[in-house]
């Protein structure tokens, strides 16, 4: 008995090693997927964050100082920026898959209209910072910044009723990528300014907006039914259906530091920084949506593999109970083969899921393992009347695992309740067993030969 328990312990260690290797394979394939997504982003465009429209002007201040009784002229160059009083963004994005080999990601095509209004342009009026200083400024520039300018397919601008040609770049320090247009002086009136910018922009996985307006309103719709809203501000309203989603944000400068962040040239981060992130914030405040791919088979396969040891342990427990209750003899090699079949399920799953929808891959892998274990258990347990219930139990385990993979938010609750039910069933079935008598019988050779 002791030697058999030692053999089973060694087998469990071997199977744990096998599961670790399979988990490594899944992680390696996941890394290949990330590399493919990165390659698509490098060839097309990455995640996009919109900053603007903003109006800025470059000014030069010149002043004189006396050093060692000599007059020296000094100068500094700086930029003044005017954020819009109101900013309204109306956008619609359509998503389509792009693939590199076996791996695909979602690419969005955004068509948006940004309507900005400035009540006045007082912040563009220069003031000298040094005594006897004189300030001269260049032509004001209206600009719009994006994270990856390669994604700009089309852009047009109207200031008031006047269309203006757009030029590449922003001429604004800190946010160089985007478009800009020099503003003619006749358009700069004391009554403020209104501009409308239409843009078509492509990118991958994530779209964000920096709320630079004193009052920023964003309405976004898409055909993608799996959005993940993030950033410092969640939507005021949103609707998600199988046909896509609609979401609306409204952010006031009273609740956001975005205007100050832009003035301080804080970086636009690759991912929307969560408001609860501890420590000093180095990114400009933003909000947006990530187009989550629920069909990420590697993430699902990795989650499934984490249940591998539990599955093998429950299966060994079932075999041990059959052996103990029916006075059978199951060789450790047979335990090893059963555990190997259970481990192979996870490798079958990830390999099939690369070529088939995850649901079909899961069904195929689970069916193959259940049929194999039912057939083998019929001989191992000395009767198909015992092998069939054993196979049904394995099928129930795979069914429970699939449910756990689909309900990520409540997986812990459902899994805990299921384990409690299994424990209760085992306790109920063995409540009348005289364990000492059973062990004595088996140690005296009372068990039937295997």
Question: pLDDT of 87-125, one tens digit each?
Answer: 999 999 988 877 666 666 778 899 999 999 988 877 777
| Distance, CA of 121 to CA of 105 (rounded, Å) | 43
Neighbours of 388 (CB within 10 A): 13
Nearest-10 Cα torsion for 138, 142, 146, 150: -80
> What torsion, rounded to 10 degrees, do the Cα atoms 173, 174, 177, 181 define?
-40
Q: Which of 82, 2, 17 is nearest to 309 (CA)?
A: 17
Quote the tokens at residue 269. 């981060």
Could you read off the pLDDT of 161-190 as tens digits, one per residue? 889 999 999 988 888 899 999 988 777 765
The half-sphere exposure of 445 on its side-chain side, counting CA atoms within 13 A, is 0
- CB of 227 within 8 A of CB of 290? yes
Confidence of residue 393 (pLDDT cuts 50, 70, 90): confident
Q: In the numeric block, which tokens belong to residue 73?
A: 């002229």
| CA distances for 122 relative to 6, 81, 88, 125, angstroms | 83, 10, 21, 5
Torsion of CA 138, 144, 146, 149, to 10 degrees: -70
Q: Which two tokens stand for residue 2?
A: 């002791």
Q: C-alpha distances in angstroms, 7 versus 14, 113, 437, 438? A: 11, 70, 23, 21
- Yes or no: say if 365 and 348 are a contact pair by the CB < 8 Å rule: yes
Residue 262: closest CA among 170, 189, 150: 170
At residue 295 the predicted structure's pLDDT band, cuts being 50, 70 and 90, is low
For residue 1, is pLDDT > 70? no
- Give the confidence band of 263 by pLDDT, cuts at 50, 70, 90: confident
**Exposure of 112 in the CB half-sphere (CA atoms within 13 A):** 32
């Amino acid at each position: 008995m002791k030697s058999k328990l030692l053999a089973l312990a060694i087998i469990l260690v071997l199977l744990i090693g096998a599961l670790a290797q399979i988990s490594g394979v899944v992680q390696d394939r996941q890394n290949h997927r990330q590399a493919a997504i990165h390659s698509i982003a490098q060839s097309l465009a990455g995640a996009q964050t919109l900053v603007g429209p903003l109006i800025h002007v470059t000014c030069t201040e010149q002043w004189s100082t006396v050093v060692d009784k000599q007059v020296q002229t000094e100068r500094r160059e700086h930029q003044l920026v005017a954020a819009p009083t109101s900013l309204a963004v109306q956008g619609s994005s359509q998503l389509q898959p792009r693939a590199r080999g076996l791996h695909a990601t979602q690419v969005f095509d955004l068509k948006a209209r940004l309507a900005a209004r400035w009540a006045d342009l007082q912040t563009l009026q220069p003031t000298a910072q040094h005594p006897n200083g004189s300030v001269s400024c260049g032509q004001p520039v209206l600009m719009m910044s994006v994270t990856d300018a390669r994604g700009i397919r089309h852009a047009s601008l109207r200031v008031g009723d006047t269309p203006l040609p757009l030029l590449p770049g922003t001429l604004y320090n800190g946010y160089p990528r985007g478009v800009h247009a020099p503003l003619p002086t006749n358009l700069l009136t004391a009554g403020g300014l209104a501009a409308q910018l239409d843009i078509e922009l492509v990118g991958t996985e994530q779209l964000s907006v920096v709320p630079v307006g004193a009052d920023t309103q964003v309405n976004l719709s898409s055909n993608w039914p799996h959005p993940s809203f993030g950033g410092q501000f969640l939507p005021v309203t949103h609707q998600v259906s199988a046909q896509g989603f609609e979401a609306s944000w409204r952010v006031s400068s009273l609740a956001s530091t975005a205007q100050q962040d832009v003035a301080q040239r804080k970086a636009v981060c690759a991912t929307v920084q969560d408001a609860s992130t501890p420590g000093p914030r180095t990114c400009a405040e933003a909000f947006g949506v990530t187009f989550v791919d629920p069909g990420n088979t590697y993430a699902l396969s990795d989650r499934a593999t984490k249940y591998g040891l539990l599955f093998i342990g429950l299966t060994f427990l079932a075999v041990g109970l059959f052996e103990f209750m029916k006075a059978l003899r199951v060789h450790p090699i047979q335990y090893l083969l059963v555990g190997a079949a259970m481990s192979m399920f996870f490798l079958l799953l990830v390999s099939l899921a690369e070529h088939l929808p995850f649901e079909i891959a899961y069904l195929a892998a689970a069916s193959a393992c259940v049929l194999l274990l039912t057939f083998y258990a019929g001989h191992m347990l000395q009767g198909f009347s015992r092998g069939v219930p054993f196979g049904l139990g394995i099928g129930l385990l795979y069914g429970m695992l699939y449910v756990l993979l689909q309900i990520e938010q409540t997986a812990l609750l459902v899994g805990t309740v299921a384990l409690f039910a299994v424990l209760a069933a085992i306790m109920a079935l063995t409540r009348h067993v005289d364990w000492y008598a059973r062990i004595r019988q088996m140690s005296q050779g009372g068990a039937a030969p295997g």
